[in-house]
Amino acid sequence: MKFLSDDHFLAGVHSYERQLAKLLALLLALVIGLATLQLLADSGIKLFTLQANWFDGSLIKLLDRLLLIFIALEVMQNITAYLRDQVVQIELVLLTALTAVARKVIVLPPGTEQKPQLMAGFGLIAVGLAAAYWLVLAARRGSSATPES
């Protein structure tokens, strides 16, 4: 029963994870490409029509969609970093989360300033993610320091 040995089983699981990550990367690349084409088409139509009014909320929608594509690209970087190094890079995950929170804050609808709990929540999330990122970087710097002889 060689196929039930730990090494053989773990190699199969590892292979499955890598193939699944590749499939997800392809799917995400397709979605990012289609979203980019749709963003370009919608923006082009809006730009070249005589009734273009960017201050009716269209600019915020454009920024929202643009930032969403950037977040998807960061997720793609997470997947490719996993495939390359076979390790989830926590710095990339935290930066992606920070970008997602920043996107949410940037595109908050008018009147949100009347909800202080929501604003405080976003602030706490941003500070928590930034602190986690700082701690990860500090730990990495500390572990890579070479002891003096």
Whether residue 20 lies inside any domain: the answer is: yes
d(CA 88, CA 77): 11
Number of domains forming the structure of the chain: 1
Interval 8-65: pLDDT, tens: 888 888 899 999 999 999 999 999 999 999 999 988 887 787 666 767 777 888 889 9
Per-residue pLDDT, 116: 87
Which two tokens mark 34?
A: 């289609």
Instruction: Identify the band that residue 149 occupies on the pLDDT scale cut at 50, 70 and 90.
Output: very low
How many CB atoms neighbour CB 10 within 10 A?
A: 10
d(CA 136, CA 24): 27
User: Residue 20 contacts by C-beta under 8 Å, 6 or more apart in sequence?
Assistant: none
Q: Please give the torsion angle defined by the CA atoms of residues 113, 62, 99 and 127, in that order, rounded to the nearest 10 degrees.
A: -10
Range of the domain at 132: 2-52+60-144
d(CA 119, CA 98): 15
Whether residue 65 lies inside any domain: the answer is: yes
Whether residue 71 lies inside any domain: the answer is: yes
Could you tell me if 83 and 25 are in contact, meaning their C-beta atoms sit under 8 angstroms apart?
Answer: yes
Whether residue 149 lies inside any domain: the answer is: no
Per-residue pLDDT, 145: 60
Whether residue 34 lies inside any domain: the answer is: yes
